[in-house]
Amino acid sequence: MIPDNKLKFAIKLNDNVMRCVIIPDGEDYKVELNDVEVAVMRPRQQDKWMVMDGYELPREFIEELDLHIEARYKEREFPDHL
Number of domains composing the chain: 1
Please give the residue range of the domain that contains residue 20.
7-81
| Residue 1, domain member (yes or no) | no
Q: What is the pLDDT of residues 57-72, one digit of tens each?
A: 888 888 888 888 888 8
Question: How many of the other CB atoms lie within 10 Å of CB of 41?
Answer: 21
| 31 within some domain | yes
Task: Answer whether residue 2 is part of any domain.
Answer: no
Asked, for residue 26, whether it belongs to a domain, the answer is yes
Q: How far is CA 75 from its chain centroid?
A: 15
Examine residue 56 and state whether it is found in any structural domain, yes or no: yes
Question: Is 18 a domain residue?
Answer: yes
**Residue 25 in domain:** yes
d(CA 44, CA 75) in angstroms, rounded, equals 21
pLDDT digits (tens, 9 = 90+) for 19-65: 999 999 888 999 999 999 999 999 886 667 888 899 888 888 888 88
Cβ atoms of 10 and 18 within 8 Å: the answer is yes
Residue partners of 17: CB distance under 8 A and separation at least 6: 10, 11
